Amino acid sequence: MSLPEEDVEFLDAYVREQGYQSRSAALHQAIAVLRSGQLAGAYEDAWRVWDTSGEADAWDAIAADGVEV
């Protein structure tokens, strides 16, 4: 992998400031954050599809089934 010198300097400073063991450790964490951000979008899309499909209404009708209120 190649990065511009400015990015490498930033990464090195970030590693020092945050106490990571290595550049790789910091990049690994950055990738995890990127992945979780993508997952959030995927969950939002899935929720929207479910909500507009009519399935939400079906689940609402039985959500409290058998529960005394």
Q: Say what the pTM is.
A: 0.57
Domain count, the chain: 1
In a domain, 61, yes or no: no
Structural domain for 34, as ranges = 5-56
CA distance 44 to 51: 10
Residues 46-61 have pLDDT tens digits of 888 888 888 877 777 7
In a domain, 40, yes or no: yes
Given the structure tokens 């939002």, which residue do they identify?
A: 44
Q: Helix 23-52 vs helix 5-18: angle between axes, to the nearest 10 degrees?
A: 90
pLDDT at 30: 94
Give CA separation, 55 vs 45, 48, 50, 59, 65, in Å: 15, 11, 6, 6, 16
In a domain, 38, yes or no: yes
In a domain, 65, yes or no: no
C-alpha 69 chain-centroid distance: 36
In a domain, 34, yes or no: yes
In a domain, 67, yes or no: no
In a domain, 69, yes or no: no
